[in-house]
Structure 1
Amino acid sequence: MMKALVIVPYEGLFEMMKEIQQQVDDIQLDIELGNLHEGVAIAKAAEHNGYHVIISRGGTASMIQEAVSLPVIDIQVTGYDVLRIITLVKGFSRKAAIVGFSNITHGAATICKLLDLDIETFTITQEIEVQEKLAHLKSLGYEVVIGDVVTVQSARQLGLTGVLITSGKEAIIDALEEARRTYRIYSQLQQDVSLFQSILDCNEQAVGVFNREEKMVYGNERFNKEFHGMNLENLPEIKRLIQETRDEIQIKTIHIHPSFWKITASSKEDAVVLFFEKSLPHQTHFQDRESIQKNAIEIHTSASYTPISGKSEAIQRVLKQIDQYSIGEEPVWIIGETGNGKELAAQSLYSKRKSMNEPFIVVQCDVLNAEQLKDLINDDFLRKFANGVIYLKNIDQLNGYLQNELNKIVQNEKYNKLQWLVSSECNMEEKVKTGTFNGELYHSLGKLTICIPPLRERREDIEDLVHVFISELHPKYGSLVVGIRQDALMELTNYDWPGNVEQLKQVIEQLFLQTKAYYIEKEDVDVVLKRFDQQDKKSDALAPIDLSGTLEEIEKQVITKVLEEEGLNQSKAAKRLGINRSTLWRKLK
């Protein structure tokens, strides 16, 4: 049974509705008295109480329509209602006007014209207009005002005669019939919506609908589950995607923490439908560069990095090569020691080549295994990101099997749109000659090369790098530090930097955190460098034993490491090894 709420603006209509209520058995009619804003407040509360339609009249009905999502049936002012009131005021000798919302004045104006009655009609759109309109009419000599409740109340406050256009039973019966018809249509629509809702909720894709104002209007069950508590409409990438989606379908990969999503956007009239698909559902992606557990694959939708800095001739040559190679789409092989900025060079190439809509995919070759490489191909991952840039980081760490498998991918024509960037720690030609690296793979990816020299060979870049790192650390930590003393800078310049630029950055961060003055002093640099040297020695001592040598060579490595751990104390080392000092000395000869 239909459940309808009737909100009436005046007492007479309330009593008439109660009388009709007794005669209606196919509608549950609840009646409330409330005019304009009172009526809107009642309607808003009723919206969540299971009502199917709301029935009201005049300006109150108009305001309720703007405030609620339920169908609102207007008790129309009929010709009978207008004729009844005009008959009533026809005998007035005073000047009369009809004032009200359009759902009253339009019908009244037509009848006045048909009957050739000299009664002007004035339409208002908001309640606040009534007082000013009536005051103006009074100044023009009008004394009688015909209208709805708000008009009549305001007229009486101004000393005018207010005549209310009341609704007769005919209008109420017409409104109930309209309510029945609307309910039938509304019920069918609800069934259709429920069906479509079920279909969308069964969809494995998350589906979200946004209007042109970038506000979300719908999300299916998967969408609400995946993005619960997130306000996607505030994400700049989502806003931009909605703005860019017009006639053509857009496909973008966007990072929505903690996952990456391939989003297909389609424009539908005044809305944009977004279909979300996880780019790699079986993998976790991360941005934290200090994460202990590295993933084999990282996907970045933008390249945020520190530009390569330096004034040396060597680094200027590198920057020039990056500019030259960024024009085309040829593979580029970047060579350099650990920590020397090979990934910065790759990111710089990506940034210059791409419009930032295509992903930057980093493959960590030192942790990539055969199963992961197989998954990438089986999931058609590379085809999904056909317009992206693939950066094969530390490719020299791949074993022979993975080199051959990777070579098959590189040679496959269906991946020919991919752009390859590669990095390795050493010159690969020697490995190719000795057969420890796939020659075909090397020659396919190594047509263009960039060699980044170690920091110890371009010491004139250190001063520039130090100031760059200090400026970067300010927003991260906040500190008094504004610079470095010249003698402290000289200590840094003279250091050999086995860890290259990355080690310099770590040292500056330590100095930045421990310095309590405006300038980094030489004493501070000495302390930090000594600490790093000790850490390096400890790391060397704890490094794994190379088992590729002879038994005698392996034994010597073990003895050397135990000696280092015991501070070169031969007595302690011999005791720990279970041998005497003379045997220890003889084995070390």
Structure 2
Amino acid sequence: MQKTKILAVAPYEGLADAISTIAQTRDDIKMTVQIGDLNTGKQIAMELAHNNYDVIISRGGTAELIRSTVELPVIDIPISVYDVLRTIKLAENYSGKFVIAGFSSITNCSRILCDLLQYDIDIFTFTSETDTLPTLRKAYENGCTLALCDMAGSKAAQALGMNSLFISSGTESINAAIDEAIKLVRSSQHVHKQKDLFQALLSDEEREFMIYDPAGNLWFSSLTDNDRNIALMNLINTYLKAFLKVPDQTVTRQIRDKIYVLTNRHLIYENQKYTAITIRQQMALFSDDSSEITIYNRLDHTSQEYSNEYSSSHHVGNTATLIQEYSKNNFPVLIIGETGTGKDKIARQLYENSPNNTAPLYIINCELIGERKWNTLLNSIESPFAATNATLYIKSLASLSKAQLDNLFSYIDNSRLSKRNRLIFSITLENFSKGQEDLCRSYLENRLSCLTLRLPPLRERINDLSSITALYIHRMNITIGKQIIGFEAEAMDLMHSFPWPGNLDQLHHVIKELVVITQTPYITYTDTKAILDAEPAISGNAPQTTLNLSTTLDEMNYQIIQWVLAEEHGNKEKTAKRLGISRSTLWRMLKK
């Protein structure tokens, strides 16, 4: 006969020792003993109930609390007539007045005994843990100085300065509870057999399973206790609140050398919602501290900065609309822009608002992947390229060699990668990689039919600068507790005249420095000039000094102004003087 698996939650240490001693003499049970009174005992039962136990035994108020919170059957270790009688006989040697107090398991038995033996003893029943102190205080005020009680009553008596005699459970009561537990389990043996078979089946699966009850307590788990699973449980707890609310979500995260894929669904049983979490694992391609591939889940972050930086102006209103519309479908997208224009942020926004946002976003950084790792990425069955219904963001594509690009494009064509997953690419516009950019764009736009999203550099949307700086200053105020209102007028003129080769990233960096050093309501001209003078005004993204004659006259004038402005480190007065125009004319031409 299979042993009955029992969890014993003893309210006091003496009962735990007695249960352990009795368990060693029996070969029909497998006993786990824990010590915890009332709410502590309830918490222990909630944490351990899913560990494949058949039944729980406890005593008094602790048993009642456990019964109200777990679905396993709970057997109360009874307070026998002999237990109460032994304590009363001992109390008869006490010269003062005494009272019997406890939860119903004690007081019900005591009333029967006192009626039979015609004992005139006051009996008080606790209804909750908070009820113990006021109940015994009433007895104390009536002249009682000794309480015959359970563990909760003993603590309350001690707090009031009363003496107490603890009504303990004898071996016959413990054996009776164990016998009742075994009888209960064996009466439903076919159910327990089914449970054990399903447990064995689930344990042999390559997947792990967890089920949470409607209150969010762990109800079943196929996980065993080890260090790796502790880390996994911590990961699950990070997303548990979201899993309990919304079904059919997928989260992918790496822990050391393993990739874990968590998916959830909701099960309705007796009009109550349970949450099942399935855990699949696979070997990771690279170490968890590697930057070549990162995994991003929609549940990881919620940010509004994307729309803030690409909204509100006529210059980029069309860009904001494109971002919104491109998010609604699964067509591949190519994002192009200079360094610092926010390509990675836009890729995440496209993912977060797409139909595939319940699956992960894999970010593959082509700048960091060497030849060997690139080949592994294309050939391994555990590669993100082997995923289905995910979003793959292949960033800095033009940094790959021509051979690597050819291999990637061939893989996309032959594996139907763009049909299985949402693909997002980014290219950083740089003068030195013009050939690679053209090769990438030719395939992505003409062969793969990517939707193209061009992010304008900050110098082309200079009218947005005031709005963006206001948002950045607001965030910094919240972060470091400042109350800066904005820029002095002359300081803002400096900001408008600077060419911003690093675009939004450089702007964010400059404003961060200015907010940190500013002690007045407005950022001053002096501080702004000092910070901007230390900033690079020309980068590899600056316009080439070869004039594009295929553009309009206004556009050629704009190119010339930008060259001179960059050479003069953003100084508009010197730029206007070199060009032979007034400063107001220069300002008007820059605003076109």
User: How high is the TM-score relative to the length of structure 2?
Assistant: 0.55
Q: Cα–Cα, structure 1 residues 424 and 305, in superposed 2: closer, same or farther, change >3 Å? A: farther
- SS at 1:349's partner residue? helix
State the match for 2:230 in structure 1. 227
Alpha carbons 1:409, 1:415 under 8 Å: kept: no
State the match for 1:486 in structure 2. 489
Structural mapping, 1:181-580, within 5 Å: 181-182=182-183, 185=186, 207-217=209-219, 218=221, 220-221=223-224, 225-228=228-231, 235=238, 237-245=239-247, 250=248, 252-254=250-252, 261-265=260-264, 269=269, 271-278=274-281, 281-283=284-286, 294-301=291-298, 304=303, 306-307=305-306, 308-309=309-310, 311-354=312-355, 356-377=357-378, 378-382=380-384, 385-411=387-413, 412-413=415-416, 415-426=418-429, 437=440, 439-445=442-448, 447-533=450-536
Q: Distance in 2 between matches of 1:324 and 1:351?
A: 13
Alpha carbons 1:333, 1:423 under 8 Å: kept: yes
Q: Cα–Cα, structure 1 residues 331 and 225, in superposed 2: closer, same or farther, change >3 Å? A: closer
Alpha carbons 1:210, 1:271 under 8 Å: kept: yes
Alpha carbons 2:251, 2:297 under 8 Å: kept: no
> Over the residues paired in the alignment, what is the CA RMSD in angstroms?
6.0
Q: Which runs of 5+ in 2 are unaligned?
A: 11-24, 28-35, 49-53, 82-103, 113-124, 136-148, 151-171, 543-592
User: How high is the TM-score relative to the length of structure 1?
Assistant: 0.56
Q: Cα–Cα, structure 1 residues 371 and 214, in superposed 2: closer, same or farther, change >3 Å? A: farther
Give how far 1:510 is off: 0.9
Q: Distance in 2 between matches of 1:353 and 1:494?
A: 38
Q: Distance in 1 between matches of 2:399 and 2:212?
A: 46
Q: Cα–Cα, structure 1 residues 470 and 309, in superposed 2: closer, same or farther, change >3 Å? A: farther
Q: Cα–Cα, structure 1 residues 281 and 427, in superposed 2: closer, same or farther, change >3 Å? A: closer
The alignment covers a number of residue pairs equal to 429
Letter in 1 for 2:520: A
Q: Distance in 2 between matches of 1:297 and 1:317?
A: 30
- SS at 1:348's partner residue? helix
Structural mapping, 1:103-182, within 5 Å: 178-179=179-180, 181-182=182-183
Q: What whole-Å deviation, never above 9, does each CA across 1:503-558 have from its counterpart, x for those lacking one?
A: 11111111111112221101101111122239989xx9xxxxxxxxxxxxxxxxxx
Q: What whole-Å deviation, never above 9, does each CA across 1:54-83 have from its counterpart, x for those lacking one?
A: 9999x8898498489764476999xxxxxx
Q: Distance in 2 between matches of 1:426 and 1:56?
A: 70
Letter in 1 for 2:425: V
Give how far 1:126 is off: 5.9
- SS at 1:330's partner residue? coil
Alpha carbons 1:56, 1:74 under 8 Å: kept: no
Q: What whole-Å deviation, never above 9, does each CA across 1:295-346 have from its counterpart, x for those lacking one?
A: 3444343563522246543312212322343343322222211112223333
Give how far 1:436 is off: 5.3
Q: What whole-Å deviation, never above 9, does each CA across 1:161-182 have from its counterpart, x for those lacking one?
A: xxxxxxxxxx99x968954953
Q: Distance in 2 between matches of 1:61 and 1:382?
A: 51
Give how far 1:478 is off: 2.1
Alpha carbons 1:336, 1:424 under 8 Å: kept: yes
Larger Cα-atom Rg: 1
Alpha carbons 2:389, 2:420 under 8 Å: kept: yes
Q: Cα–Cα, structure 1 residues 403 and 355, in superposed 2: closer, same or farther, change >3 Å? A: closer
The percentage of aligned residue pairs carrying the same residue is: 20
Structural mapping, 1:77-96, within 5 Å: none
Q: Cα–Cα, structure 1 residues 194 and 425, in superposed 2: closer, same or farther, change >3 Å? A: same
Give how far 1:470 is off: 0.8
- SS at 1:227's partner residue? helix
Q: Cα–Cα, structure 1 residues 332 and 194, in superposed 2: closer, same or farther, change >3 Å? A: closer
Alpha carbons 1:484, 1:521 under 8 Å: kept: yes
Alpha carbons 1:310, 1:465 under 8 Å: kept: no
Letter in 2 for 1:366: E
Q: Distance in 1 between matches of 2:178 and 2:533?
A: 91
Q: Which runs of 5+ in 1 are unaligned?
A: 8-25, 29-37, 78-99, 109-123, 133-148, 151-170, 287-292, 541-589
